[in-house]
Every structure is written in structure tokens, then in C-alpha cells.
């Protein structure tokens, strides 16, 4: 293999595939990047056996071939090279790296030891979604998702493809976030409904990669055990979590006994302020004032002291007092972008729902702390 590639193109490719490099000391090949050429394209691939990332780059290909080299070492060299053009040439078990003022060689690994990258068998069915929309959706629901060894089925984001659109949801059993995307802003060729659970780690890497990509469409392919996210230059393929996502619809309040309209930013600032005295319990108390025109947020700690803050609101229904983990409440308010939000509650021991007045596509559900 012999090729000439621009330094910035090489750095871009290595920064993308770096996210799937394995840490298994028993399999040194997982710490390598597999580089091959195909039809005037330079293809970089890494995998940790759960997730595989491929980046397609451009360059001048003089001679086709393939190599596998330690990514960390290669990345360090490229970052510190000052020349714009870099020549890569494999000879025997060495990859030579040359510029106008630098030369080195890196010992390569056996290509046959590099794992076979799985592929989606059925590529006739897929959906296309704008990358910015996908990023915003994952960001909205990932805040409620947490890794769990005991319950692996909640260690990822639920994705459901239906005729009306897509539903994404995440939960850690204490809170829940759900976002729905209307079919009008996606293109889907799925004939039947599809449900899957995308691992939390995969979702995080998709977010990081798409954040650094130019806005465009992402194609998503799904089979019973794997999911593929594909852009013009990147492919991310991952195993899916085996199991059934909780039937979370049953815990979302369908009717509420009280609804309070709160100014989002002011309420979020009040949560952060009063949380200063919440101590290790992270709990703050929300109480609707006697005139139903404000909510008082209160927290205290025997070693620190106490504080309270009032926020003007509009209440429909009866007054209430609830105790929350302030972090869970704060996370819920952060994912919305509207000026005002609705907090709907039924009874003090049941979940509350936080939603936008005008956009029902996003909801956040939080469980109060039993007082």
C-alpha cells in the first residue's frame, strides 16, 4: 500500500475511529486501526467487539493495500507532524510515514487477526433523518438513561419505528424522557414496526461523532441484533441490547389533579440556588403558596443551614407539596427550550410529568421522593 494524504484529513479520520478502539489487553489487535484502500477511497476502521466505526477519507492512492497499526502511536505522530502532506507506504511488516522533514516506520499487526466487522443483512429497509434532529433527540432522552448491570434492558435508549414516526425513550427507573419524531420529517422504508434498545455507550458515541460532522442526513438500518448509523463519510455499527424495554407508558400520568405553569429559566435557576443546601440527599421541597401564585423551593442540611426561594407560577387545581432529587428535576428542565413549562401531578406518591405547553412531542417524567 502506498498513498499520499493530507494531515487534516488523516486527523479527522483518526479522531472519529478512535472512539471504538478496544482496551482489551489480551487482544492487542483491538488497539489498532485497520487501514485499507478501495476505489480511490481510504477506509479507516476500529472495533471493541461491541461497537465498530468506519471512516471514509480521500487521498492520492498510488498502490492499493491494507495495514493494521496501533492507533494511539499513529495518532500521536500525525498530531505532531507539521507538514501538510503525508506519505504512507507499507513494506513487509512495517508502515513507513514520510513528510518533507520527517520519517518513521511503525510495526504493523497481522491483518488476519483483526476482527471481521459485522454488517446489516437487510439494507432494503431503513430510515433517513436529519443529523441535527437525531442529535437533539438523543440529547433529550439520554439524560434519563443510566448504565445498569442489574437491569441491562434500561442501559440504553429505546427506539421504536412506527407508521406515525419514531419514538425515543430513556429511563433509569427514577425518571423518564420520551421524544417523538413525526413521520413528516423522516423518510422510512420499514414495512412493519421495529423496536430496539441502543446501548448507552453507542448513543454517546453517535452524539460525539455527529456533533463534529457537517449537517446532513443519517441513514439508520436495523436487524434483530445490530443497528447501523451511516452518513456520507462515517459508519457506526453496534450490537443491540437483548431484552424488552419497560412498558413505560403505564407510568406516564394520563390525567393530572394539578397543573402549574412555571417560567423555565427562572425555575431552573431557583433549583440550582436552593440545591446548595440539599446535602447528600440531593432533595429539595416544592410547595405551592397559599395564594396559589408562587412555588416555594426549600432545602436544608443540619451541617450547612437552609434556604428557600419563591418563583411566580400559575396553578390549576389544588395546592401540593412534593420532594424531589434536585438533579433529576434540573435535568428535566434543561432539555426543554420553551420559556414556560407545565408540571402536572396526580398524588404525592405518583410520578409528575413535565411538558411544553405547545409541543407535545417531548415529555419528562420524574418520581418524587417519599417524604
DSSP per residue over 26-95, as a string?
Answer: T-GGGGEEEEEEETTEEEEEEE-SSEEEEEEE--EEEE--EEEEEHHHHHHHHHH---SEEEEEEETTEE
**φ and ψ of 206, to 5 deg:** -60, -45
Give the pLDDT confidence of 174-197 residue by residue, as tens digits: 999 999 999 999 999 999 999 999
Q: Which of 63-72, 206-215, 346-355 has the highest mean pLDDT?
A: 63-72
The C-alpha cell at 118 is: 459485522
pLDDT at 371 over 70: no
Q: How far apart are CA 54 and CA 234, in angstroms?
A: 6
pLDDT value of residue 253: 87
Distance from CA of residue 39 to its chain's centroid? 32
Q: How far apart are CA 266 and CA 226, in angstroms?
A: 43
Give the pLDDT confidence of 234-285 residue by residue, as tens digits: 999 999 999 999 999 988 988 888 999 999 999 999 999 999 998 888 999 9
**285 vs 78, 114, 172, 265, 279, CA distance in Å?**
54, 55, 22, 18, 13
Helix, strand, or coil (residue 140): helix
Q: Is the pTM of this model over 0.85?
A: yes
Residue ranges and CATH numbers for the domains of the chain are 2-113 (3.10.150.10), 127-248 (3.10.150.10), 252-366 (3.10.150.10)
Number of H helices, E strands in the chain: 6, 27
Q: How far apart are CA 30 and CA 46, in angstroms?
A: 7
pLDDT at 212 over 90: no
Provide mean pLDDT across the span 100-113: 95
Provide mean pLDDT across the span 204-219: 93
pLDDT at 59 over 70: yes
The pLDDT confidence band at residue 226, using thresholds 50, 70 and 90, is: very high
What's the chain's average pLDDT?
94
Share of the chain above pLDDT 70, in %: 99
Residue bearing cell 420553551: 338
pLDDT value of residue 353: 96
Amino acid at each position: 500500500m502506498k498513498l499520499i494524504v493530507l494531515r487534516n484529513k488523516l486527523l479527522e479520520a483518526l479522531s472519529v475511529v478512535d472512539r471504538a478502539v478496544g482496551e482489551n489487553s489480551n487482544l492487542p489487535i483491538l488497539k489498532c486501526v485497520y487501514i485499507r484502500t478501495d476505489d480511490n477511497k481510504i477506509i479507516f476502521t476500529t472495533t471493541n467487539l461491541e461497537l465498530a466505526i468506519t471512516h471514509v477519507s480521500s487521498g492520492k492512492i498510488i498502490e492499493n493495500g491494507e495495514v493494521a497499526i496501533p492507533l494511539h502511536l499513529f495518532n500521536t505522530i500525525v498530531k505532531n507532524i507539521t507538514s501538510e502532506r503525508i506519505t504512507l507506504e507499507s513494506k513487509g511488516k512495517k508502515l513507513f510515514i514520510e513528510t518533507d522533514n520527517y520519517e518513521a516506520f511503525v510495526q504493523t499487526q497481522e491483518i488476519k487477526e483483526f476482527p471481521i466487522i459485522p454488517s446489516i443483512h437487510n439494507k432494503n429497509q431503513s430510515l433517513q433523518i436529519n443529523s441535527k434532529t437525531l442529535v437533539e433527540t438523543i440529547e433529550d432522552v439520554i439524560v434519563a438513561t443510566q448504565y445498569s448491570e442489574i437491569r441491562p434492558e434500561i442501559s440504553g435508549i429505546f427506539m421504536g419505528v412506527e407508521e406515525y414516526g419514531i419514538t425515543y425513550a430513556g429511563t433509569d427507573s427514577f425518571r423518564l424522557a420520551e421524544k417523538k419524531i413525526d413521520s413528516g420529517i423522516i423518510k422510512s422504508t420499514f414495512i412493519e414496526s421495529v423496536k430496539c434498545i441502543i446501548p448507552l455507550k453507542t448513543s454517546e458515541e453517535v452524539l460525539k461523532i455527529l456533533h463534529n460532522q457537517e449537517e446532513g442526513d443519517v441513514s439508520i438500518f436495523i436487524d434483530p441484533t445490530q443497528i447501523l448509523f451511516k452518513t456520507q463519510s462515517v459508519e457506526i455499527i453496534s450490537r443491540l441490547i437483548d431484552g424488552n424495554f419497560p412498558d413505560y407508558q403505564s407510568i406516564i400520568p394520563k390525567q393530572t389533579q394539578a397543573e402549574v405553569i412555571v417560567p423555565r429559566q427562572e425555575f431552573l435557576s431557583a433549583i440550582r440556588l436552593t440545591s446548595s443546601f440539599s446535602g447528600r440527599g440531593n432533595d429539595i421541597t416544592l410547595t405551592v403558596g397559599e395564594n396559589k401564585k408562587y412555588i416555594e423551593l426549600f432545602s436544608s442540611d443540619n451541617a450547612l443551614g437552609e434556604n428557600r426561594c419563591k418563583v411566580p407560577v400559575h396553578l390549576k387545581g389544588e395546592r401540593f407539596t412534593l420532594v424531589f432529587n434536585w438533579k433529576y428535576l434540573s435535568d428535566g428542565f434543561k432539555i426543554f427550550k420553551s420559556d414556560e413549562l407545565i408540571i402536572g401531578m396526580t398524588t404525592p406518591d405518583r410520578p409528575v410529568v413535565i411538558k411544553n405547553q405547545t409541543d407535545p412531542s417531548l415529555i419528562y417524567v420524574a418520581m418524587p421522593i417519599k417524604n
